[in-house]
């Protein structure tokens, strides 16, 4: 199992926003190798989605409650200094090093391995199982939306969808020694705006007051001073409620008091630094800025890009209204560049309980809890066809490992990978009949 995983890690399926720079041969080689390692899986009906996406259909005894297991084959480019080369899949002291070990070939290959094992054992799942493997998640490509369209065309309404996201996270919570298996039930929406001020350019020796750059700066400062109203969403309250009793004193007292009131918990999060504050409200980040290209020329146009992460409970329209209101300047033109509403919250009902129960059985020392995902995943597209979209990767991860995703020294332990394979197998075996 480990050799199959390593072989697939060695193929550099890096996705890029520049279509011309895309290494299609690497993706072709990856899909070919996947077929070689998992021949029984590849006997299942398979639909190609987009250029390199895959949608497998494993028919169950019933198709009343179909599920979709998701992952993606693409990885982000290599960054920073690596202890071991990123595409060598070196195994040392029980650790597999390489780009994609956690994000997200680990779960893609673990799902394939679990299905291959069950097919070999002659297992027939109680419900239809669909496997949807995207190829361009890291560049927000169209494989996942196309898979959603394909499922919709076939009349499939998934009982639940499971994609990457949370993990069995160590050191996730201040003062809590136990790992917490966090299952994402919603994710923030990503929207981008451009702020633009046009005015009179000219020579830098004769500037007029409040020109485009100054006016833009004033707008940015106003926005920075007026964040959105904060309120911890239900999933965050639930995460703190479940974790609080396991914290060490005095953190335990602070947390158990805070979770009694949403307002109090919100205040605590806002006071605990930018990461915690982002759990309690929609955020604005001014990312790009431009004015004049020359030191001695007054800008006739100044622009700023604002990246907005919208928390469940807020809407794009509401956030844009807020931006307009706090900037208070009709000469600052606001244009929407990218649209993205937050995902609706998935319920904590029987499907969530199944995921949580399998997790408790395989990771008995871990707490399980819903949470709000801060990053975007392909899963958000599936909220169009399913009420229950969960984001969870059944791998134990330290804080250091979570931080290695998208940077250098990404790695997984052999043990964590094998436990992940067992977890996916158990999930499929425990699908309810009827």
The residue ranges that bind Zn ion (CB under 5 A) are 103-104, 164
Q: Which residues pair with 304 in a beta bridge?
A: 195, 289
Q: Which of 66, 96, 71 is closest to 165 using CA atoms? A: 71
Distance of closest approach, residue 411 Cβ to Zn ion, in angstroms = 16
- Which one, 141 or 199, has the nearer CB to Zn ion? 141
Residue tagged 């009694």 (tokens): 260
CA 45 to chain centre: 28
Distance of closest approach, residue 427 Cβ to Zn ion, in angstroms = 19
Distance of closest approach, residue 200 Cβ to Zn ion, in angstroms = 47
- Which one, 264 or 376, has the nearer CB to Zn ion? 376
Q: How far is CA 372 from CA 237, 300, 389, in A?
A: 10, 42, 12
The set of long-range contacts for 302-305, using a CB threshold of 8 Å and a minimum separation of 24, is 302/196, 302/197, 302/212, 302/213, 302/215, 302/216, 303/194, 303/195, 303/196, 303/197, 303/216, 304/194, 304/195, 304/216, 304/219, 304/220, 305/192, 305/193, 305/194, 305/195, 305/337
Q: Is the peptide bond before 29 cis (omega within 30 degrees of 0)?
A: no
Distance of closest approach, residue 390 Cβ to Zn ion, in angstroms = 15
Taking the alpha carbons at both ends of the chain, their separation in whole angstroms is 33
Q: How far apart are CA 18 and CA 68, in angstroms?
A: 29
Q: How far apart are CA 193 and CA 196, in angstroms?
A: 10
- Which one, 55 or 144, has the nearer CB to Zn ion? 144
- Which one, 98 or 199, has the nearer CB to Zn ion? 98
**Which residue minimizes CB distance to Zn ion?**
104
Distance of closest approach, residue 131 Cβ to Zn ion, in angstroms = 16
Distance of closest approach, residue 293 Cβ to Zn ion, in angstroms = 37
- Which one, 150 or 378, has the nearer CB to Zn ion? 378
Residue 50, judged by CB atoms within 10 A of its CB (0-12, 13-18, 19+), counts as middle
- Which one, 134 or 291, has the nearer CB to Zn ion? 134
**Residue 225: both structure tokens together:** 């001073």
Distance of closest approach, residue 76 Cβ to Zn ion, in angstroms = 8
Work out whether strand 160-169 and strand 301-310 pair parallel, antiparallel, or are unpaired: unpaired
- Which one, 103 or 238, has the nearer CB to Zn ion? 103
Q: Which of 3, 149, 142, 130 is closest to 74 using CA atoms? A: 142
Distance of closest approach, residue 379 Cβ to Zn ion, in angstroms = 10
- Which one, 104 or 190, has the nearer CB to Zn ion? 104
Residue tagged 């956030």 (tokens): 319
- Which one, 71 or 355, has the nearer CB to Zn ion? 71
Distance of closest approach, residue 266 Cβ to Zn ion, in angstroms = 29
| Largest separation between any pair of C-alpha atoms in the chain | 82
- Which one, 111 or 265, has the nearer CB to Zn ion? 111
Q: For residue 90, give the 3-state DSSP assignment.
A: coil
Distance of closest approach, residue 48 Cβ to Zn ion, in angstroms = 20
Q: Which of 53, 88, 56, 57 is closest to 73 using CA atoms? A: 53
């Amino acid at each position: 199992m480990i050799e199959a995983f390593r072989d697939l890690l060695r193929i550099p399926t890096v996705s890029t926003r520049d279509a011309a720079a895309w290494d299609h041969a690497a993706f072709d080689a990856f899909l070919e190798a996947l077929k070689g390692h998992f021949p029984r899986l590849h006997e299942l009906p398979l639909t190609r989605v987009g250029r390199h996406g895959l949608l497998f259909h494993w028919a169950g005894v019933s198709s009343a409650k179909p599920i979709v297991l998701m992952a993606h084959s693409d990885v982000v480019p290599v960054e920073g200094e690596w202890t071991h080369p990123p595409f060598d899949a070196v195994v040392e002291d029980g650790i597999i090093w390489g780009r994609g070990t956690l994000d997200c070939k680990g779960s893609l290959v673990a799902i394939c391995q679990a299905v291959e094992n069950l097919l070999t054992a002659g297992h027939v799942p109680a419900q239809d199982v669909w496997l949807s493997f995207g190829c361009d998640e890291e560049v927000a490509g169209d494989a996942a939306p196309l898979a959603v369209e394909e499922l919709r065309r076939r009349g499939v309404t998934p009982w639940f969808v499971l994609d990457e996201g949370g993990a069995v996270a160590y050191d996730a919570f201040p003062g809590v020694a136990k790992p917490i298996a966090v299952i994402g039930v919603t994710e923030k929406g990503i929207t981008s705006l451009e702020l633009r001020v046009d005015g009179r350019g000219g020579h830098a020796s004769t500037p007029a007051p409040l020109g485009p750059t100054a006016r833009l700066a004033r707008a940015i400062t106003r926005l920075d001073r007026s964040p959105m109203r904060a309120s911890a969403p239900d999933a965050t309250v639930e995460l703190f409620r479940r974790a609080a009793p396991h914290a060490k004193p005095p953190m335990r007292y602070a947390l158990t008091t805070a979770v009694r009131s949403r307002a109090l918990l919100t205040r605590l999060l806002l006071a605990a630094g930018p990461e915690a504050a982002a759990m309690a409200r929609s955020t604005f980040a001014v990312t790009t800025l431009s004015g004049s290209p020359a030191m001695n020329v007054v800008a006739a146009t100044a622009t700023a890009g604002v990246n907005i992460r919208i928390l469940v409970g807020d809407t794009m329209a509401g956030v844009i209204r807020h931006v307009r209101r706090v900037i208070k300047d009709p000469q600052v033109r606001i244009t929407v560049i990218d649209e993205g509403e937050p995902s609706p919250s998935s319920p904590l009902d029987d499907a969530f309980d199944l995921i949580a129960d399998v997790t408790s059985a395989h990771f008995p020392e871990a707490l399980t809890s819903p949470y709000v995902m801060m990053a975007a995943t392909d899963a958000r597209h599936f909220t169009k066809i399913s009420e229950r979209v969960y984001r969870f990767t059944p791998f134990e991860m330290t804080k250091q490992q979570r931080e290695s995703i998208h940077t250098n020294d990404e790695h997984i332990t052999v043990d964590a990978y094998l436990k992940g394979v067992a977890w996916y197998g158990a999930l499929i075996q425990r699908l309810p009949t009827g």
